[in-house]
Amino acid sequence: MLMKKHVLAVLVENRAGALSRVSGLFSRRGFNIDSLTVGETENPAVSRMTIVAEGDDAALEQIIKQLDKLVDVIVVRGLSGASYIKREIMLVKVQADEKNRSNIVEIAAIFRSRIIDISPTTITMEATGSMEKIDSFLQLLRPYGVLETARTGSVALERGSSVLTVDAPPQS
């Protein structure tokens, strides 16, 4: 049984309880969700979920079938077999004094992160990229004293002209 990370894009009706029903399905099947992001789409009646979970292909296939049966779910697409773009955002607050501030600013520049707040004792930055890039950035900042982080989890879109919409054909 080969375990791997799977990325699912799910469009759901934007109403109370939809997130709970979708996440509950994963927990009932014994799947741990590594990352889950939810936000309103271009249509305010529809929300898009990006779910990253680890498991074997057969279990994932069952979860997709179960998700398709949920009343709130409009369309489900597994992105793991497709070419897609996946990103995460992190806010990180680091201890910074006069001695190490320039080093932290240099690290931020290397990772193309943005400095969004500076105080006499801290720097807060915003970083966007792959999970691996975010993890590497965080690792380099740890020696300076990471005080706080907030991460969005992954968001993903298929490359090219393929789109996931309310009218999208079911995944084969």
Residue extent(s) of CATH 3.30.70.260 domains in the chain: 4-82
Residue 38 has, within 13 A of its CA and on its CB side, a CA count of 16
Alpha helical stretches, state H, 3-100: 18-28, 57-69
Average pLDDT, stretch 136-151? 97
pLDDT given for residue 106 in this prediction: 97
pLDDT in tens, 89-122: 999 999 999 999 999 999 999 999 999 999 999 9
Architecture of domain 4-82: 2-Layer Sandwich (3.30)
Give CATH for domain 85-155: 3.30.70.1150
pLDDT at 152 over 80: yes
Per-residue pLDDT tens over the stretch 23-62: 888 888 777 888 999 999 999 999 999 999 888 888 888 8
pLDDT for position 171: 46
Phi first, then psi, for residue 15 (nearest 5°) are -150, 160
| Region(s) of the chain under CATH 3.30.70.1150 | 85-155
**Residue entry with tokens 């990370």:** 5
pLDDT band at 172 (very low <50, low <70, confident <90, very high): very low
* pLDDT more than 90, % of the chain: 64
Please report which confidence band the pLDDT of residue 146 belongs to, taking 50, 70 and 90 as the band edges. Answer: very high
% of the chain exceeding 70 in pLDDT: 97
